[in-house]
Structure 1
Amino acid sequence: MKRYATSLAAMCCLVAMSSMAQTPYKVVAQWKIGGTGGWDYLLADGPAHRLYITHNSRVEVVDTATGKPVGAVTGLKSTHGIALDPDGKTGYISDGAGNAVVIFDRTSLAILATIPAGTNPDGIAYEPTTKTVWAFNGRSNNISVIDPAKKTVLATIALPGKPEFPQVDGKGAVFVNIEDKNSIVKLDASAKKAVETWSLPGCESPSGMAMDTTHGHLFSVCDGDKMAVTDAKTGKQIALASIGAGPDAAGYDAKNQLAFSSNGETGTLSVVDAAHGYKTVQTLATKKGARTMAYDAATNRIYLMTAEYGAPAAGSKRPSVLPDTATVLVVGK
């Protein structure tokens, strides 16, 4: 009888956990950021309750507990990505138009150093085993590997095409989507060289990438409404999940084994169940143009950027962002 009761209790617990994992996401708040111009990557620092948003020539910093601005890193030219040092003190910004990586103080938000990189650094990552910063240069098709302590470039690694978003596994491997070659390049952080190039069948123009470091799976979001799932050890494709149109960023919830894609064209957030066949279990309406996002594991929240739009500026095909309309959409359960 005792064994039966224990089994029943365990089963109830599993059902409850499954139910919690399947609770639909919804937009729970909207935070007006304002300012002018467009944006690129977002990064959540859960323990510090901060959200970093690359916004035109600055990086906005928002308190995720209140939704209020903390301040901004200013004096840049055109920001793209952010990476954080495990020391809790410093951060790194890819300044695309400045062809540089900027080191900043996370308390004062002051710029500490500016290090020349390749042409138009975009994605950026901190690699913990070598304590280096990797800037992925979108126009020179290479990587600047930086020693942040010495503030110098240690190596420049050539790539076979235009790099997009990177991921690190924390064990010395670095991965990056190659947008114009529909592939992933794997790099050895210690040797500072590319070691594998893997094609992404059914994936056009891969942009955002997330990683399940526990199971060694990479999630690349692609044009054609697809998310390619790749084995990070073998390079073999595991699945090709259906998502919304116009994806740009990806995220991963390790606790519930869910992968996310923010889809700017359809104005949706796709939720893919990575534990049960890579099925899309929810398509949440967000807002057209909400193409970049950050996942915060500490709160199980997703942050997306959007705005109100007007007619394209002269010589551009993209709609213009109306001043003071930039907004963070907060998605939770």
Structure 2
Amino acid sequence: MRNTLSFALMLGCTLSTFSLIACKTQPAPQAEAPAAAAPAESGAPKIYVTNEVSGDLSVIDSGNFNLLATVPLGKRPRGIHSSPDEKTLYVALSGTPIAGPDVDESTLPPPDKSADGIGIFDVAQRKLVKIIPGGSDPENFDVSQDGKQLYISNEDISAVSIIDIASGTIVKTLTIGAQPEGVKATPDGKQVYVTSEETSEIAVLDPAAGKIVATFKVGHRPRSIAFMPDGKHAYINAENDGTVVLVDTKLHKVVKTIQLGKPGLVKPMSVLLSPDGDKLYVSTGRGRMVFTVDTATNKVLGSIEVGRRPWGIALSPDGKTLYSANGPSNDVSAVDLATNAVVKKVNAGQGPWGIVVLK
């Protein structure tokens, strides 16, 4: 009895010792890492950038230049425009493979037509809520004054489509010149200009009648249009000429050619007017510059190097800052227009293309 009790006591002590050792050798539980804090927002206007290569949208705070969100959209987001109330952004999406200037398109994979459409992005939620039809290979577009229709360039079928937003249906598709890209409604909304790069012409769409009412030639490879506030004149780029042309919108005729630089070195891409129409800003792609033109004299006031291949450009709501989407460098530049100097560069996604700034 005494021996049994002694053995039991010894066994208990041994087990207790093992337990103590085990407790001491077990690693202490690790505290969970705190969740990453959301980027600070300043309350300043937001910059929205479509990234053609990475297939997403960058949301950037223009006050502190924090990247607030990166939202997946789909394949090749390019053209981006706001609804009149600025609550919705529309984005052109395309399943046609990217083909640069020197790419043999016959070597590319077939287009994914299921990826074509117009993405509808809710600004408040920062969320893509749906995709509606946009015709074949939509590249760029404009929004009607009442916010009910979209006018869309369909690059691969040489056409312009009219889309009813509420029903998500294609109202009409009209054949125009080859490789259409830029689309812009006149200030009164009664006509829509569409550029055709390959045929170097403008098609004039009457959206109410649903037909093309005029076509006319401009400089080589037009991509973008900017109407003066009174609608009597428009500026259109001519990429391969190194120029911007001034058009009389009543006569549908070029009345002035503004030389920006040597063709091939300076390649005008996007044109944008200041809110008062006094200044015209022109991005120049591989020229790396944004030019400023005085619209009273149609003389070049200056230029600023903003980055590699600037394409889309946009102004802050107060008109004091210009933002450029620089494709190959995957960033956005902010230009102080008072000093004509780049004051900030901020990373976006891969291949920034289009850009919009909203309050």
Do these two structures clear the TM 0.5 threshold for a shared fold by scoring above it?
A: yes
Give the alignment partner of residue 303 of structure 2, picking from 240, 244, 247. Answer: 240
In the alignment, what sits opposite 1:174?
234
Moved more, 68-77 or 92-101: 68-77
Q: CA deviation at 1:215?
A: 4.9
Paired residue type of 1:59: I
Point out the structure with the larger strand share.
1
Q: Distance in 1 between matches of 2:316 and 2:305?
A: 18
Contact 1:229/1:240 (8 A) holds in 2:
yes
1:295 paired with 2:350, answer no
1:165 positional shift: 1.7
Give the counterpart letter for 2:208 in structure 1.
A
SS at match of 1:281: strand
> Structure 2, unaligned stretches of length 5 or more?
1-43, 45-60, 95-115
Q: Which AA in structure 1 matches 2:236?
A: V
Shift of 1:72: 2.2
Q: Of residues 83, 86, 98 in structure 2, which corresponds to 1:45? A: 83
Shift of 1:175: 1.1
Indicate which of 60, 63, 70 corresponds to 2:119: 60
Q: Distance in 2 between matches of 1:129 and 1:63?
A: 27
SS state at 1:97 partner: helix
Partner of 1:83: 142
- Displacement of 1:151 after TM fit? 1.0
> Partners in 2 of 1:278 and 1:152 — Cα distance?
42
Report the Cα offset of residue 55 of structure 1: 0.9
1:27 counterpart = 2:27: no
Q: Kindly indicate whether the alpha-carbon contact (under 8 Å) linking 2:229 and 2:276 is maintained by their aligned counterparts in 1.
A: no
Q: 1:46 to 1:294 in 2, by over 3 A?
A: farther
Partner of 1:322: none
Say whether residues 1:282 and 2:344 are aligned partners: yes
Deviations 1:184-226 (A, max 9, x none): 0111222222211111137611112222031521111122321
- The alignment yields a C-alpha RMSD, in angstroms, of 2.1
Q: Percent identity?
A: 22
Shift of 1:40: 2.4
Q: In the TM superposition, what whole-angstrom CA distance separates every residue of 1:136-158 from its partner, at most 9, and x where no partner exists?
A: 00111100001111111111111
Counterpart amino acid of residue 31 in structure 1 = V
Aligned equivalents of 2:181, 2:324: Cα separation in 1: 19
- Structure 2 contact 153–180 (Cα < 8 Å) conserved: yes
Report the alpha carbon displacement of residue 46 of structure 1 after superposing the two structures with TM. Answer: 5.6
Residue 102 of structure 1 corresponds to 161
Q: Match of 2:325? A: 262
Shift of 1:251: 0.7
- Counterpart residue identity of residue 332, structure 2: L
For the structure 1 residues 81 and 75, does the alpha-carbon distance in structure 2 shift closer, same or farther, using more than 3 Å as the test? closer
Please say which of residues 187-196 and 116-125 is displaced more in the overlay: 187-196
**Amino acid paired to 1:234:** T
Q: TM-score, normalised by structure 1?
A: 0.77
Q: Which runs of 4+ in 1 moved over 3 A?
A: 21-24
Q: Could you tell me which residue of structure 1 aligns to residue 133 of structure 2?
A: 74
Structure 2 contact 235–246 (Cα < 8 Å) conserved: yes
Between the two structures, name the one with larger relative contact order (CA 8 Å, sep ≥ 6): 1
Contact 2:315 2:357 in 1 (8 A): no
The answer to whether the Cα contact below 8 Å between 2:316 and 2:322 also exists between their aligned partners in 1 is: yes
Distance 2:170 2:157 in 1: 14
Post-superposition Cα deviations, 1:77-96, rounded to whole Å, max 9, x if no partner, equal 21111111112221211111
C-alpha distance in 2, partners of 1:59/1:161? Answer: 28
One of 92, 107, 122 as aligned partner of 2:151: 92
Which one has a bigger Cα radius of gyration? 2
Cα distance, 1:289 vs structure 2: 1.5
Q: Is the 8 A contact 1:178 1:184 kept in 2?
A: yes
Report how far residue 256 of structure 1 moved: 4.7
TM-score by length of 2: 0.72
In 1: Cα distance, 2:62 partner to 2:68 partner:
17
Change over 3 Å in CA distance of 1:215–1:104 after alignment to 2: closer
